[in-house]
Amino acid sequence: MNKIRYFRGKEGLTLVELSEKAKVAVGYLSALERDEDGVINPTKNTMERIAEAFNKTVPEVFYPKK
């Protein structure tokens, strides 16, 4: 489970705003947020762009501690 929704809410960003900031399609971001089972495997580049949009590391966003 990733923390995209958590960080997006914390930053007060809409999906559209995050999409523009990370240069990732809105629909794909939405799918990643809803991917509770971790079925979707984003590329390293995509994970880096999303993490950078939050000024976080990839592990902070995509591999949160349990």
The domains of the chain, with CATH numbers, are 4-62 (1.10.260.40)
What pLDDT, on a 0 to 100 scale, did the predictor assign at position 4? 95
Residue 66's pLDDT is 60
pLDDT at 65: 75
H helices then E strands: how many in the chain? 5, 0
Radius of gyration of the chain (CA): 10
Per-residue pLDDT of the chain (66 residues; tens, 9 = 90+): 789 999 999 999 999 999 999 999 999 999 999 998 889 999 999 999 999 999 999 999 998 776
